[in-house]
């Protein structure tokens, strides 16, 4: 009975994908897409209450439970957003019905892949799932078939598949490390048994493995210098996909990275993964913060801001300790909610103004107040200003770091400040000043955007104790 | 209970903010919103006063908000209560003013929602009792005020001002974040109680002091972190300018006092040198900047900088005395600083209201296009004049009292054992005196050019007296200025618990002193009686006037101005603000601002007019902010090149990372 | 009984300064004239001027505001109050504790503030010139004065004028360098504040270098009279201030009898006369300086004051 | 017995590394494809050997898979593509052959050093195999980095994956799931690459990546 929930989380999207692949017609398929996503979300919710025991292939524990719910939730809201968004794309003829079917099917496949990656109890399976997710997104990024879109997809594909290869090599190495201890066969890839006996593994092998996994999955996370695919993929794909990429796929990849970090942390002789993650995190943060200043394309802008926040999160987990880990988890959640909300806003803005060029959109709060203020609120949230949730996580990261590693904290603060400066500099152009640029009428559903922002705002001042205890437990696990 | 009421006020205000979003469009929105704000701020002010006068014990309570395992701690002690009273009073006056003035607002939808939220944030900062709650409220305060500065966003200058403000605010908040991180320690003892109990080491304290100076100083407008202030304060609607200048800067002061005098524990003597030097420089620089301005609201904003400097001088002295175990002297200095907090909030709000009234009546902020308003808006002019006299520290008004107390504190400083302070303090005293004199000069200019003389533009000729409620707000503050000026003893006594909590001693009780005069240390040493001086002046003035009118002539004839025989009716011949400031510009400006004057005198027979052009340089901006911005741009440009690599080059980045990491592994033990 | 006596003394003091002020001015003028080999006006000329002006009607500029008419009395009141708080012939005035030296300076400051406003009121260029220069001079003179006050306060351990005077007479202060510096600074400030040569020429009109006269250019009749009286009071105030601080001998103690009071009175008159004559000598022996050399003059005063204070800070610590 | 196993595996793995060097050395597309086919062939052999040694029959499947897809299908397909796109046969080299070879040798040394730090209990077979596999992976990556056109990059990528196969098969008793996923990924990779080359052919006249990169989203 309880196992069904986990299976359902995987089966519903698959079935939906199959149906959607057949289904012609925008209206029906869009509705079905939403319904399927909702169903997945509800089943995921049920996982909170009856949690199945870990199997050979699938498991649900504190760490991934929150992420599953988060993923399915954002998947659901994004499907709502994409319904209105894709509708407009059809009207403007940027998408043909044929590609539309493909799009919806792929959307559900992507959901399936990400859920699988999260519930997988088997590092091989997790790898497969993440690759599947990558390949689906590659196809979706290229869906517009413009020069830029194809190029972005191509770049994403090449860099992504190199990442795939490296991650696989890492996975193999982990197996090699586990084999002598656990013995040959499937067990040596089952997560629960791995983490249980990690202390006896060969540290050197683990280290090499982690290097490969860090680079492999780090490519998906978009850590500098592996980030190159991310901005273009976000900018050129359909906005719902950008939202899912930033909000979910990055999280999933980071989740995989965390799993292996736990593995290393469990082995006393292995190298501490912290410094690596801290370094890459800070690099990503500072680099992305400065990249924000020169962006002309609004979606690319927020893609870089995603890199920045992934940097902060990686930094937090790299620092470790209950506070920093808690902050990292919180920041992951907050960022995926906020960033997807921002992309909802940006998507509609781009449709209204008929362009993604920042220079060509202006005075949004005048011309489209709801949209404009939504965007402002989103940027305020992503900039880490209170009373929104991101502030709490940044507060925890900075305060807990400064007492331990003053210089790191100062670099961190410097990066954050540079990012804030850039974001608001760009925001001034988009949201304020004399309204200019085209002003087409786009029927938009603001519900998802404001739902996300409301959640973030609430989390900024109040968090339900259950969630907190989960986070705290996981934070302890992460060491 | 009381604390709950305060939190209730904040909650109400937040609710009002939401309400404002809902009904922002309707015409009833303005009176409703400001009315509710009026009530809430009055209540919170009353609570503050009551708590202060009753001298009741600190109240605290914890709500299940904020950092989950910690909760949101709130506490109302003497310090919070005093600042709560100041803030409540300021926001009360501002709301009253806004009730009338708000009708002229062209974009109410962009002001109404943020105004109450801004008030709520300031109240919450004052009662916050853990680092997280404090910083959330603090930054929320910046955020809401940023939105208010952005209210008139169609003017690019305002957008820029708001941007600079937000970045500086973020900078300050991050500095405070680091400070609290330092005090809370790695395992996050964020509650102020824990911070108090954990005694910081000296070096740590010093770091915290510097961070607090950056954090609170940038919010308060301490030179050289003041750059945003004269841009942002004038850009906002006038009631908000008044709040930001008169009230929000005080919240910043509160933050500094809270951290340095309460949380961090016993100070080291040299901290005070830093604070004193900064305070002195701020005071002088602020007023000099102000003298160079001819934008009325910006001039007032720069004067805020000056007064912040004066307050910090007081705080620095208190710190010095406290560090050297001279509690009585410390109490005197602290009282001076805190009293000046109240005074400045009073007259600065008053002045901004006046400027706002002028702005709505004429649509002009540029003094060079104003003039003669005293005849068109006499009541506003009178209130504004009182404000000018008060801020220029003229007896018997309130500004003089706090400066007088500061001087008295300075005169106690020879007893300080440390040499550095002995040399620094007199210099700071001179700076204080200089800034006071210059302030008087500046407000002669402000009032004389704006309200006196003849109108310099048609807009100024068409000016009409402003509405009743705005006037009521102004006169309320003017009367308060006089009351504080003539009966300072009452306020000093009210401050006693606050001062005692901060420096461990209090000034001698002033109520016992006959004739309501104030005696800082001993009557033989020094004393001042505002009431008597006031009465003297009134009596002797009226005496002289009536006597002359009765015994000698009271005949009067209107005639053209004499002006040494060749009067010129055109307002062009009037003295302008910049020409008024010219002597002082030549004396100080040449050094401080590299002020240069160039005269193009055409050759005889040439009919071109002669031209005088003045060039000023904002030294601080060019020395501090320009380099930062250019550095950021440089970095952005350089890094931006990385956006344009080919896929292969990106791959080689990945490859390089892999090789480097593997290499690192080989050398890793 | 004592209170009534004190009240009486205070009253006498107020009337005294009011009555003596024009005489002092007259004396200075007379001596100057004599030094220039002129006959010069009679000593009582200032009184006559005042009375004549008071009788005349006021000719008010059309662009003048209500403030313009109030200011003379404000200025007069402030100056008079300030003057009446400086001990002249008897220390320990009844109301001396209501305003110490700093407050007295501040009172003069408010007088100047309003006078400058008067200059701006009518909206003529001369008034503007006067005001702007006046505030420029004041912006340097006031700090210098405050520095002098610091020095004295540090010596006497009080800013209370009577106390200072008392300390300087009765306790053995001895000759101090800083005291001398302070005296110099105070004299320079006094010259600047009263608009005497070399800062300003009280006897000129229609001269672009004038400061005080330019401010009050638009005044006439009783207003002008009151303002002139205030100016004369100010001069008297400074002279008696210097007298009471630097040559306090002869000033009667608070509990002194009639004879002592009489002695104090005589000595006060003598000091005033001496001060007036010295001022006249000084003014005739020096030429007026350009306006923009004034800052250097006053800057020197400020530096002297600061130096004196610093010396005090240092010497107190030895 | 043990000796033979080890030596043969060692020999095959070593030769794979050698062939990777050969790939690096090629400067003609056709020749490159042929060498790659050889690479795949040898890989198939070594996989088969591993299957025999570990008597894990499912590995034969992998061997066959490799042989068919990598040694035959893909080279042929790429050959077709080259012809159909009419790309001239020269390979645009970004770094000179000599430098590349030197760097490659450095990489091999690096991988051996890294792997020798692994404790012996992982089994000598695994260790050697891993060392070689790692060097093949690195060489493949090096090829992708130093070659300036799509086909040769694809080849580099696939020789990289050959390294992975070697490693995977070297790991005793690694579950089938890996191979399947692995073949699966090659399949996907191939299909998608095909699609892309096709589309790219549609849009641009060359598959040279430089040409793609000029159409930069933000370069104006």
Give residue-wise pLDDT tens across range B598-625: 888 888 888 888 888 888 888 888 899 9
For residue B133, the model assigns a pLDDT of 94
Q: What pLDDT does B451 receive?
A: 94
Sign of the alpha-carbon torsion through A140, A144, A150, A151? negative
Question: Would you say residue D176 has pLDDT above 80?
Answer: no
**Chain B contacts of C310, Cβ < 8 Å?**
423, 426
Which of A158, A165, A184 lies nearest to residue D172, judging by beta carbons?
A184
CA distance B156 to chain A (A): 7
Residues A205-257 have pLDDT tens digits of 889 999 999 999 999 999 988 998 999 899 988 999 999 999 899 999 999 99
Mean pLDDT of A132-136: 88
Residue B637, SS3?
A: helix
Q: How many pairs of residues across B and D have Cβ atoms under 8 Å apart?
A: 44
Is pLDDT at B582 greater than 50 in this prediction?
yes
Q: What is the pLDDT of residue A444?
A: 74
- Is the CB of A204 less than 8 angstroms away from the CB of D119? yes
Alpha-carbon distance of C212 to C200, in angstroms, equals 8
C10: closest CA among C90, C79, C102?
A: C90
DSSP class of A362: B
pLDDT tens by residue, B368-396: 999 899 999 999 999 999 999 999 999 88
pLDDT of residue A141 exceeding 80, the answer is yes
Q: Does A271 touch chain D if contact means CB atoms closer than 8 Å?
A: no
Q: Which two tokens stand for residue C233?
A: 């009071």
Q: Rounded to the nearest 5°, which phi and psi values hold at C60?
A: -105, 135
- Which of A154, A158, A175 lies at the smallest CB-CB distance from D174? A175
* B651: contact with A, CB 8 A cutoff: yes
C1 — pLDDT class (breaks 50, 70, 90): low
Chains C and A touch (3+ CB pairs under 8 A): no
**Candidate ranges A25-39, A119-133, A141-155, B442-456; pick with highest mean pLDDT:** B442-456
Give the distance from residue B161's alpha carbon to the nearest chain D alpha carbon, in angstroms: 29
Tell me which residue of D78, D93, D85 sits closest to D24, measured CA to CA.
Answer: D93
- At residue C58, the 3 state secondary structure works out as strand
Q: Does D112 touch chain A (CB under 8 A)?
A: no
C147 pLDDT tier (thresholds 50, 70, 90): very high
Q: Does B661 reach chain A within 8 Å, measured CB to CB?
A: yes
D206 — pLDDT class (breaks 50, 70, 90): very low
Identify the pLDDT of residue D197: 59
Q: Taking a C-beta distance cutoff of 8 angstroms, is the pair B87, B250 a contact?
A: yes
What is the count of residue pairs from A and B with beta carbons less than 8 Å apart? 169
Contact B646 D114 (CB under 8 A): no
Please check the confidence at residue D208 and state whether its pLDDT lies above 60: no
Task: Kindly indicate the confidence band of residue D167, based on its pLDDT and cuts at 50, 70 and 90.
Answer: confident
Q: Could you tell me where the beta strands, DSSP code E, fall in B48-116?
A: 59-63, 72-76
Taking the Cβ of residue A141 and every Cβ of chain D, the question of whether any pair is shorter than 8 Å is answered with no
Lowest mean pLDDT among A160-164, B432-436, C280-284: A160-164
The two structure tokens encoding residue B228:
């945003």
A151 touches chain D (CB under 8 A): yes
- Model confidence at B543: pLDDT above 50: yes
Interface check B571 vs C, CB under 8 A: yes
Kindly state whether A295 is in contact with chain D, defined as any CB-CB distance less than 8 angstroms: yes
Nearest residue on chain D to B652, alpha-carbon basis:
D145
Residue B475 and residue B464: Cα distance in Å, rounded? 18
What would the mean pLDDT of C170-175 be, rounded to a whole number? 65
Mutate to test the interface with B, among C51, C59, C111, C136 (most CBs of B within 10 A): C136
pLDDT value at position C206? Answer: 61
Token digits for C178? 């800083």
* Closest CB to B652 among D107, D138, D145: D145
Q: Mean pLDDT across the stretch D167-192?
A: 63
Of D122, D182, D212, the CB nearest to A205: D122
- Domain ranges in chain A are 273-479
pLDDT at position C175 is: 64
Q: Which two tokens stand for residue C255?
A: 């509990």
Six-digit token pair at A55? Answer: 């199997």
Report the pLDDT averaged over residues D199-212.
46
Residue D204 pLDDT level (bands cut at 50, 70, 90): very low
The mean pLDDT of B38-59, rounded to a whole number, is 92
Count CB atoms within 10 A of the CB of residue B203: 9
Among candidates B135, B159, B170 on the partner chain, residue whose Cβ is nearest the Cβ of A395 = B135
Q: Which of A452-456, A474-478, D91-95 has the lowest mean pLDDT?
A: D91-95
| Interval B50-58 mean pLDDT | 89
**Res. B80: pLDDT tops 70:** yes
Chain B nearest C-alpha distance from D152 (Å): 12
Tokens standing for residue C92: 């320990």
pLDDT of residue D162: 85
Looking at residue C198, what is its pLDDT?
84
Q: What is the pLDDT of residue A2?
A: 45
Q: Which residue of D has its CA nearest to B660?
A: D110
User: What pLDDT does residue B654 have?
Assistant: 92
- How far does D84 lie from chain A, in Å, by closest CA? 20
Cβ–Cβ under 8 Å, residues B644 and D216: yes
- Going by their DSSP bridges, the two strands B72-76 and B59-63 should be labelled as antiparallel
Flag whether residue C170 sits within 8 Å of chain B, measured between CB atoms: no
**Omega of the bond prior to B224 within 30 degrees of 0, cis?**
yes
Of the candidates A289, A267, A439, the one whose C-alpha atom is nearest the C-alpha of residue A362 is A439
Decide if A180 and D200 are in contact by the 8 Å CB cutoff. no
pLDDT band per the 50, 70, 90 thresholds, residue A1: very low
The lowest-confidence range among B87-91, C73-77, D168-172 is D168-172
Enumerate residues 201 to 240 of chain A having a beta carbon within 8 A of any beta carbon in chain D. Answer: 202, 204-205, 208, 232, 235-236
Residues of A in contact with B171 (CB under 8 A): 417
Give the whole-angstrom CA distance, residue A386 versus residue D78. Answer: 56
Task: Give 3-state DSSP helix, strand, coil % of chain A, rounded to 5.
Answer: 80, 0, 15
At residue C172 the predicted structure's pLDDT band, cuts being 50, 70 and 90, is low
pLDDT at B275: 95
Chain B residues near residue C131 by CB distance under 8 angstroms:
444, 448, 575, 580
**Which uninterrupted H or E stretch holds B599?**
strand B596-600
* Cα distance between residue D216 and residue A232, in whole Å: 9
C72 within 8 A of B570, measured Cβ to Cβ: no
Question: What part of C 185-224 touches B (C-beta under 8 Å)?
Answer: 205-206, 217-218, 220-222
Sign for the CA dihedral angle at C237, C239, C240, C245 comes to positive
Selected for mutation to probe chain C from B414, B521, B566 (highest C CB count within 10 Å) is B414
Query: Measured between CB atoms, does B654 come within 8 Å of chain A?
Result: yes
pLDDT band (50, 70, 90) for residue B429 = very high
- D215 touching B, CB under 8 A? no
Smallest CA–CA distance, residue A444 to chain D, in Å, is 26
Tell me, yes or no, if B641 comes closer than 8 A to chain D by beta carbon: no
Residue-level pLDDT at A345: 93
Cβ-nearest to D144 among B643, B646, B651? B651
Q: What is the largest CA-CA distance in chain D?
A: 67
Q: Is the pLDDT of residue D220 over 50?
A: no
CB D71 within 8 A of CB D59: no
Q: Give the closest of A131, A150, A169 to D167, CB-based.
A: A169
At residue D1 the predicted structure's pLDDT band, cuts being 50, 70 and 90, is very low
For residues A152 and A159, is the Cβ–Cβ distance under 8 A? no
> What is the structure's pLDDT at C208?
66
- Determine the length of chain C: 318
pLDDT surpasses 60 at A84: yes
The residue among B237, B211, B213 whose CA lies nearest residue B226 is B213
Segment 91-130 of chain B within 8 Å of chain A by CB:
109
Q: Do D189 and A161 touch (CB under 8 A)?
A: yes
Which residues from A are below 8 Å from D173, CB to CB? 179, 184-185, 188
pLDDT for residue B450: 94
Are A172 and D171 a contacting pair, CB within 8 Å?
yes
Q: What is the pLDDT of residue D203?
A: 41
Choose the mutation target among B111, B142, B158, B181 for the interface with A, i.e. most A CBs under 10 Å: B181
Phi/psi at D119 (5° precision):
-65, 155
**Does residue B125 register a pLDDT over 90?**
yes
- Residue B180's pLDDT band (boundaries 50, 70, 90)? very high
Average pLDDT of chain B is 91
- Least confident range from A68-72, B468-472, B613-617: namely B613-617
B647/D213 touch (CB, cutoff 8 Å), yes or no: yes
Average pLDDT over residues B264-286: 92
Residues of chain A with C-beta less than 8 angstroms from the C-beta of D161: 165
CA separation, residue D170 to residues A173, B379, C132, D38, D48 (Å)? 11, 95, 94, 20, 11
User: Which residues, other chains included, contact D178 with Cβ-Cβ below 8 Å and sequence gap of 6+?
Assistant: A124, A168, A171, A172, D168
- More confident call, B188 vs B20: B20
CB within 8 Å: A365 and B153: yes
Q: Are B427 and C315 in contact (CB under 8 A)?
A: no
Compare CB distances from A165 to D126, D160, D220 and report the shortest one's residue: D160
Interface test with A, best of D53, D124, D181 (most A CBs within 10 A): D181
CA distance C81 to chain B (A): 7
Q: In which element (H, E) is residue B556 found? A: strand B556-559
- Residues of chain B with Cβ-Cβ distance to D94 below 8 Å are 648
Q: Which of B19-33, B43-57, B307-321, C200-214 has the lowest mean pLDDT?
A: C200-214
Q: Are C218 and B563 in contact (CB under 8 A)?
A: yes
Residue D56 to residues A190, D61, D98, D174: CA-CA distances in angstroms? 21, 10, 41, 10
| Residue C292 in contact with partner chain B when CB distance is under 8 A | yes
Q: Is the pLDDT of residue A139 over 90?
A: no
**pLDDT on residue B446:** 95
The percentage of residues in chain B with a pLDDT greater than 90, rounded to a whole number, is: 66
pLDDT the model gives residue B327: 92
Interchain CB contact of B648 with D (< 8 Å)? yes
Please, which pLDDT band fits residue D188 given cuts at 50, 70 and 90?
low
Instruction: Lowest mean pLDDT of B234-238, B318-322, B596-600, C111-115, name the range.
Output: B596-600
Mean of pLDDT values over B224-238: 93
């Amino acid at each position: 009975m309880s196992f069904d929930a986990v299976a359902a989380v995987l089966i519903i999207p698959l079935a939906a994908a199959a149906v959607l692949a057949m289904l012609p017609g925008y209206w029906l398929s869009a509705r079905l897409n939403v319904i399927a996503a909702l169903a997945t979300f509800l089943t995921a919710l049920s996982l909170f209450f009856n949690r199945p025991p870990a199997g050979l292939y699938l498991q649900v524990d504190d760490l991934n439970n929150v992420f599953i719910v988060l993923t399915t939730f954002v998947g659901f809201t994004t499907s709502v957003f994409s319904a209105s968004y894709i509708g407009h794309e059809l009207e403007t003829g940027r998408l043909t019905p044929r590609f539309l079917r493909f799009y919806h099917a792929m959307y559900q496949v992507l959901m399936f892949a990400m859920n699988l990656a999260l519930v997988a109890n088997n590092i091989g399976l997790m790898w497969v799932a993440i690759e599947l997710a990558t390949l689906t997104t590659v196809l979706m990024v290229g869906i517009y078939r413009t020069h830029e879109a194809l190029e972005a997809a191509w770049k994403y594909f090449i860099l992504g598949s190199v990442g795939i290869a490296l991650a696989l090599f890492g996975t193999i190495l982990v197996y090699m490390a586990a084999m002598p201890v656990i013995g040959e066969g499937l067990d040596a890839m089952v997560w629960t048994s791995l983490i249980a006996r990690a202390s006896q593994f060969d540290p050197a092998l683990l280290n090499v493995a982690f290097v490969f996994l860090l680079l492999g999955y780090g490519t998906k996370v978009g850590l500098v210098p592996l980030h190159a695919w991310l901005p273009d993929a976000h900018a050129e794909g359909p906005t719902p996909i950008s939202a899912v990429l930033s909000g979910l796929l990055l999280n999933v990849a980071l989740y995989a990275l965390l799993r292996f970090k736990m593995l290393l942390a469990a082995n006393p002789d292995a190298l501490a993964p912290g410094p690596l993650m801290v370094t890459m995190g800070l690099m990503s943060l500072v680099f992305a913060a400065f990249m924000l200043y020169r962006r002309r394309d609004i979606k690319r802008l927020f893609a870089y801001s995603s890199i920045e926040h992934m940097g902060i999160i990686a930094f937090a987990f790299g620092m470790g300790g209950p506070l920093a880990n808690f902050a990292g988890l919180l920041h992951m959640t907050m960022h995926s909610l906020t960033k997807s909300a921002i992309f909802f806003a940006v998507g509609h803005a781009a449709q209204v103004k008929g362009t993604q060029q920042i220079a060509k959109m202006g005075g949004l709060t005048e011309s489209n107040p709801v949209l404009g203020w939504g965007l402002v609120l989103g940027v305020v949230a992503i900039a880490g200003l209170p009373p929104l949730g991101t502030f709490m996580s940044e507060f925890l990261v900075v305060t807990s770091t400064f007492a331990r590693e003053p210089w790191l904290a100062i670099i961190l603060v410097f990066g954050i400040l540079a990012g804030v400066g850039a974001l608001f500099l760009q925001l001034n152009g988009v949201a304020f000043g004399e309204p200019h640029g085209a002003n087409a009428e786009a029927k938009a559903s603001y519900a998802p955007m404001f739902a996300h922002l409301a959640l973030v705002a609430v989390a900024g001042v109040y968090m339900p104790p259950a969630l907190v205890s989960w986070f705290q437990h996981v934070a302890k696990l992460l060491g | 209970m009381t604390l709950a009421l305060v939190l209730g006020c904040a909650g109400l205000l937040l609710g009002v903010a939401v309400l404002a979003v809902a009904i922002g469009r309707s015409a009833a929105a303005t009176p409703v919103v400001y009315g509710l704000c009026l009530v809430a701020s009055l209540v919170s002010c009353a609570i503050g006063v009551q708590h202060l006068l009753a001298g009741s014990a600190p109240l605290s309570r914890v709500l299940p908000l904020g950092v989950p395992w910690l909760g949101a701690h709130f506490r109302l002690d003497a310090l919070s209560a005093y600042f709560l009273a100041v803030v409540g009073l300021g926001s009360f006056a501002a709301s009253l003013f806004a009730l009338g003035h708000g009708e002229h607002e062209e974009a109410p939808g962009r002001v109404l929602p943020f105004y109450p939220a801004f008030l709520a944030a300031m109240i919450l900062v004052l009662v916050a009792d853990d680092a997280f709650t404090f910083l959330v409220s603090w930054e929320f305060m910046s955020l809401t005020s940023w939105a208010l500065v952005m209210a008139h966003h169609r003017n690019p200058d305002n957008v820029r001002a708001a941007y600079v403000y937000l970045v500086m605010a973020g900078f300050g908040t991050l500095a405070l974040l680091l400070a609290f991180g330092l005090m809370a320690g790695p395992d996050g003892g964020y509650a102020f109680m824990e911070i108090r109990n954990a005694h910081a080491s000296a070096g740590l304290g010093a770091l915290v002091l510097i961070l607090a100076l950056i954090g609170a100083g940038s919010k308060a407008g301490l030179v050289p972190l003041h750059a945003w202030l004269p841009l942002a304060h004038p850009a906002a609607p006038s009631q908000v300018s008044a709040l930001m200048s008169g009230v929000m800067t005080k919240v910043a002061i509160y933050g500094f006092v809270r951290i340095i005098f309460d949380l961090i524990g016993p100070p080291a003597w040299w901290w005070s040198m830093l604070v004193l030097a900064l305070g002195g420089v701020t005071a002088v620089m602020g007023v000099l900047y102000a003298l160079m301005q001819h934008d009325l609201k910006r001039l007032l904003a720069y004067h805020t900088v000056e007064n912040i400097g004066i307050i910090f001088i007081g705080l620095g002295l208190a710190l010095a005395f406290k560090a050297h175990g001279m509690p009585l002297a410390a109490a005197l200095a602290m009282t001076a600083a805190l009293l000046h907090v109240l005074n400045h909030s009073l007259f600065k709000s008053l002045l901004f209201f006046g400027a706002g009234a002028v702005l709505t009546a004429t649509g002009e902020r540029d003094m060079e296009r104003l003039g003669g308003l005293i005849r068109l808006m006499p009541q506003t002019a009178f209130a504004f004049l009182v404000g000018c006299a008060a801020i220029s520290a003229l007896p018997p008004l309130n500004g003089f009292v706090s400066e007088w107390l500061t001087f008295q504190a300075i005169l106690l400083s020879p007893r300080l054992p440390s040499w550095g302070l002995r040399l620094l303090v007199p210099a700071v005293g001179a700076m204080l005196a200089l800034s006071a004199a210059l302030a008087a000069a500046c407000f002669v200019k402000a009032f004389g050019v704006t309200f006196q003389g003849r109108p310099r533009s048609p807009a100024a000729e068409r000016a009409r007296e402003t509405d009743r409620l705005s006037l009521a707000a102004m006169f309320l503050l003017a009367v308060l200025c006089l009351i504080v000026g003539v009966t300072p003893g009452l306020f000093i006594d009210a401050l006693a618990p606050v001062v005692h909590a901060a420096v461990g001693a209090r000034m001698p009780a002033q109520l016992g002193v006959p004739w309501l005069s104030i005696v800082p240390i001993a009557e033989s040493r020094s004393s001042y009686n505002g009431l008597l001086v006031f009465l003297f002046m009134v009596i002797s003035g009226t005496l002289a006037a009536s006597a002359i009118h009765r015994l000698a002539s009271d005949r009067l004839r209107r005639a053209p101005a004499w002006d040494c025989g060749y009067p010129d009716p055109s307002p062009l011949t009037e003295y302008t603000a910049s020409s008024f400031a010219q002597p002082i510009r030549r004396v100080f400006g040449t050094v401080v601002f590299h002020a240069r004057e160039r005269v193009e005198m055409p050759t005889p027979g040439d009919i071109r007019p002669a031209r005088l052009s003045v060039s000023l340089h904002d030294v601080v901006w060019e020395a501090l902010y320009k380099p930062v911005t250019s550095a950021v741009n440089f970095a952005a440009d350089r890094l931006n090149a990385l956006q344009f690599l080919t896929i292969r080059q990106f791959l080689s980045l990945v490859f390089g990372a892999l090789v480097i990491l593997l290499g690192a592994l080989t050398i890793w033990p | 009984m004592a209170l009534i006596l004190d009240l009486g003394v205070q009253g006498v003091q107020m009337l005294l300064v009011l009555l003596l002020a024009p005489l002092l001015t007259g004396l200075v003028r007379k001596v100057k004239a004599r030094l220039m080999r002129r006959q010069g006006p009679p000593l009582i000329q200032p009184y006559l001027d005042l009375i004549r002006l008071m009788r005349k009607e006021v000719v008010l500029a059309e662009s003048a505001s209500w403030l313009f008419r109030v200011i003379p009395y404000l200025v007069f009141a402030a100056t008079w109050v300030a003057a009446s708080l400086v001990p002249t012939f008897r220390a320990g005035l009844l109301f001396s504790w209501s305003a110490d030296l700093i407050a007295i300076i501040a009172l003069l400051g408010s007088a100047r503030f309003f006078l400058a406003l008067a200059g701006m009121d009518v909206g003529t260029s001369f008034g503007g010139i006067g005001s702007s220069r006046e505030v420029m001079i004041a912006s340097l003179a006031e700090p210098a004065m405050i520095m002098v006050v610091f020095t004295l306060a540090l010596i006497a351990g009080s800013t209370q004028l009577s106390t200072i005077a008392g300390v300087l007479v009765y306790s053995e202060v001895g000759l101090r360098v800083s005291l001398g510096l302070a005296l110099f600074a105070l004299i320079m400030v006094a010259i600047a504040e009263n608009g005497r040569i070399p800062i300003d020429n009280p006897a000129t009109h229609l001269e672009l270098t004038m400061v005080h006269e330019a401010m009050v250019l638009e005044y006439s009749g009783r207003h002008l009279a009151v303002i002139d009286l205030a100016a004369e009071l100010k001069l008297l105030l400074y002279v008696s201030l210097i007298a009471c601080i630097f040559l306090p001998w002869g000033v009667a103690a608070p509990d002194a009898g009639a004879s002592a009071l009489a002695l104090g009175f005589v000595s006060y008159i003598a000091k005033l006369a001496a001060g007036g004559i010295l001022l006249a000598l000084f003014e005739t022996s020096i030429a007026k300086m350009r306006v923009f050399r004034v800052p250097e003059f006053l800057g020197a005063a400020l530096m002297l004051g600061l130096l004196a204070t610093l010396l005090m800070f240092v010497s107190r610590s030895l | 017995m043990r000796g033979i196993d080890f030596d043969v595996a060692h020999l095959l793995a070593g030769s794979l590394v050698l062939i990777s060097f050969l790939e690096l050395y090629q400067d003609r597309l056709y020749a490159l494809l042929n060498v790659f086919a050889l690479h795949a062939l040898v890989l198939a052999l070594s996989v088969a050997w591993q299957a025999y040694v570990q008597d894990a029959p499912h590995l034969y499947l992998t061997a066959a898979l490799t042989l068919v897809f990598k040694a035959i299908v893909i080279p042929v397909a790429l050959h077709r593509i080259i012809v159909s796109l009419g790309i001239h046969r020269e390979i645009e080299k970004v770094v000179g052959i000599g430098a590349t070879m030197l760097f490659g040798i450095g990489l091999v040394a690096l991988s051996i050093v890294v792997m020798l730090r692994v404790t012996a209990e992982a089994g000598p077979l695994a260790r050697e195999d891993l060392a070689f596999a790692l060097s093949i992976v690195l060489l493949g990556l090096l090829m992708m980095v130093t070659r300036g056109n799509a086909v040769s990059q694809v080849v580099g990528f696939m020789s990289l994956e050959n390294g992975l196969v070697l490693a995977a098969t070297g790991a005793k008793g690694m579950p089938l799931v890996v191979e399947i996923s692995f073949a699966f990924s090659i399949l996907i990779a191939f299909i998608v690459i095909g699609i892309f080359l096709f589309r790219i052919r549609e849009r641009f006249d060359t598959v040279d990546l430089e040409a793609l990169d000029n159409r930069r989203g933000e370069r104006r």
